[in-house]
Structure 1
């Protein structure tokens, strides 16, 4: 009997719904809706992975290894497949056993040996969760995959966080520059102020702030490759007198006070157990009256927060040990450290647009991306970014800019009386000072 109908029956039984996409098996057989994307099972090894790692991790391993693929619109396939896969349905033990037997027959006549995980998967993790050593290893896994690869995906701006879009935005680089400038205005940057950028990436924020606002900036990252690239950019723009790039943990930074601190897409790596330490450290590094801009992805709160689990694909292939928190918890912890939270702005839709641009860049440069990192790594990034775009569009996750200040002793106001004054241009504050 052809494989595809038997496999489709298993999928429908597992999901508790009709197969939402067409399915093609390794024997060439097909079944399912005639139009739309096609889920392709290229090798029976994909089923062996599911036998030993049922659920998302088994599927992820098959995807990264190229044993599972989608032909056609990836977004359309993910839109109809992700939610039922992630939510699942309760399967009675007897039914689960029968499904396992059928899966075993399709995978091979005898009990198969578990295939080794793709090499892109995080292997052994050592040390306590979110220790400095383990955090360095996690950051290296994600970011030290080659600056050339990131240039293909991110474009010339080299900004790895959501851009700021408007109906008049020309392209991704313009949208990223608008985001960086918004942060500078929210921080109220002035010439010769000291700025600390925590998790500085490839240096885009510190370069923008030094070039346009005349600040003296320190950028810290745990990625050696990011730091090397950022230093090259600093030297190319002759800003060595204003910008310093360090390979340094935020817990090791001790040369405050700074007039302003930016943390853009870094706090997701901190972890719940260390987050109060993170907010306490930033508070200590900031002068009284100084501002913090914390730009961070957030998840929706759960009825039982103890049930929160990191997505297994993200944890194994993308952001090892990364954790998301509801925005309310982040605001609360900032306040407990002594900050006065003055503004919270959601940019959820902006991140969906940004991710779609990154996916388009990757797909347009697919052959070069595969040459630089290998097919497995390129497949990881394509799936991760496309699925993330849909998650932001659905509202399952969001991203927020939280502006907080370290209060002065007198309690005097440290922000303009007019709300959100940073929405307007800031030429009178030193903008374009060094352009």
Structure 2
């Protein structure tokens, strides 16, 4: 079909009611759209069939993961321009943007003009159903959320994809959470600064017992034991992470001070601990379990002990009851993962008995971290595809780049919440000017 790009652009703009913010290059080699804009490459009509059957982010994600869609030019700019059409948030509906609503309205015959445009798009793509979802997609799950078995399966989907792949993306630090940047610093320096900041906020001293909830590949546990003399228990649900972390601990000569367990945090029963760190783990807990999570950590901490909860947050919806998890994230990245507004997190911690003493918002730091991870992936993309699959590498590139844009545009944030199990006497143990931890004192 000659000049498919022009027809696609016209049909898309008729459906959306706004100019298309990117150019389109179609499977026939034709191109249309604003000059100088990033180019959305539609390699196959199957991409359009996916979008017609699943309008919004899930159809887009399936086409992207299958290699039927690509972007030429600045990926971040393309995602930013498309975000209002595909990932629109904060409208009180919990919906997924103008594109999905337009196609659904056309299907519902609410607008003859939209129905005609949708019909023309169907004629362009053919009447055939879309192909099966890519192999990287998690099937829709049923049953109760956040049981121990279901959480273990979800964690395995995300983390047990090969330690070599994570080394490629994360770099030598093997830290999979927001770094703490200084101007001109490297990723490794920023990740070390983040680990040290956590230890200082927790006021770790030699011999202190630290529980590292969701310990990943052991970076914080090793840093706390080596630099602060702490005795650390790290727990993870990922067998691959645990094996890797234990090997690192042995290599550092810290087996007498660091224990790595494959264990659900709900099964930890050897408290009390002097300090608890939960970094990038609470996003997996879910709203139905969050108060239980806060209660469990409170019970594991000695009076006067500190909790450092490092967690991604989302902006509140006007109608919180309508909030739902993004389809792309749920099916391809973090099954059953949920984000909460920071106010809800602090409330749950306070209801459990904690005294929240400090909240530090560091979302710009996560945008910088994600951009570096994307650069690491793109620099060694053929190797990443060999270590996992081409589809999995595409999942990660889209997920990390889109997340970077979301942090930059204040659609999501990340916060370090310092809370204390304050004793009955009311002595929190914090200095009068607690932000002194931003500068590490000589020890």
Answer whether TM exceeds 0.5 for this pair.
Answer: yes
Equivalent residue for 1:144, pick from 155, 160, 164: 160
How far 1:14 moved relative to its partner?
2.9
Deviation sequence 1:253-302 (CA, Å, 0-9, x none): 11100000000000000001100000000000000000000000011111
Separation in 1, partners of 2:180, 2:244: 24
How do 1:321-400 and structure 2 match up within 5 A? 321-400=336-415
How do 1:263-342 and structure 2 match up within 5 A? 263-342=278-357
Residue 213 of structure 2 corresponds to residue 212 of structure 1: no
The 3-state SS of whatever aligns with 1:349 is helix
Separation in 1, partners of 2:236, 2:117: 48
Separation in 2, partners of 1:205, 1:95: 57
In the alignment, which residue of structure 2 is the partner of 1:13? 14
TM-score with structure 2 setting the length? 0.94
How do 1:175-190 and structure 2 match up within 5 A? 175-190=190-205
Separation in 1, partners of 2:59, 2:439: 49
Contact 1:185 1:426 in 2 (8 A): no
How far 1:13 moved relative to its partner?
2.2
Contact 1:283 1:338 in 2 (8 A): yes
In the alignment, which residue of structure 2 is the partner of 1:70? 71
Deviation sequence 1:105-125 (CA, Å, 0-9, x none): 1112xx313310000000253
In the alignment, which residue of structure 2 is the partner of 1:50? 51
Separation in 1, partners of 2:77, 2:279: 30
The 3-state SS of whatever aligns with 2:176 is coil
In the alignment, which residue of structure 2 is the partner of 1:105? 123
How far 1:22 moved relative to its partner?
1.4
How far 1:126 moved relative to its partner?
5.0
How do 1:160-199 and structure 2 match up within 5 A? 160-169=176-185, 171-199=186-214
Gaps spanning 5+ residues in structure 1: where?
Answer: 429-435
In the alignment, which residue of structure 2 is the partner of 1:235? 250
TM-score with structure 1 setting the length? 0.95
The 3-state SS of whatever aligns with 2:180 is coil
Identify which range, 329-338 or 126-135, moves more after superposition: 126-135
Equivalent residue for 1:95, pick from 113, 119, 137: 113
The 3-state SS of whatever aligns with 2:124 is helix
Kindly tell me the number of residue pairs found equivalent between the two proteins.
425
The 3-state SS of whatever aligns with 1:342 is strand
How far 1:243 moved relative to its partner?
0.4
CA RMSD of aligned residues (A): 1.2
How far 1:426 moved relative to its partner?
3.6
Equivalent residue for 1:252, pick from 248, 262, 267: 267
Identify which range, 178-187 or 411-420, moves more after superposition: 411-420
How do 1:125-136 and structure 2 match up within 5 A? 125-136=141-152
Gaps spanning 5+ residues in structure 2: where?
Answer: 88-96
The 3-state SS of whatever aligns with 2:191 is helix
Separation in 2, partners of 1:302, 1:123: 27
Contact 1:15 1:85 in 2 (8 A): no
The 3-state SS of whatever aligns with 2:434 is coil
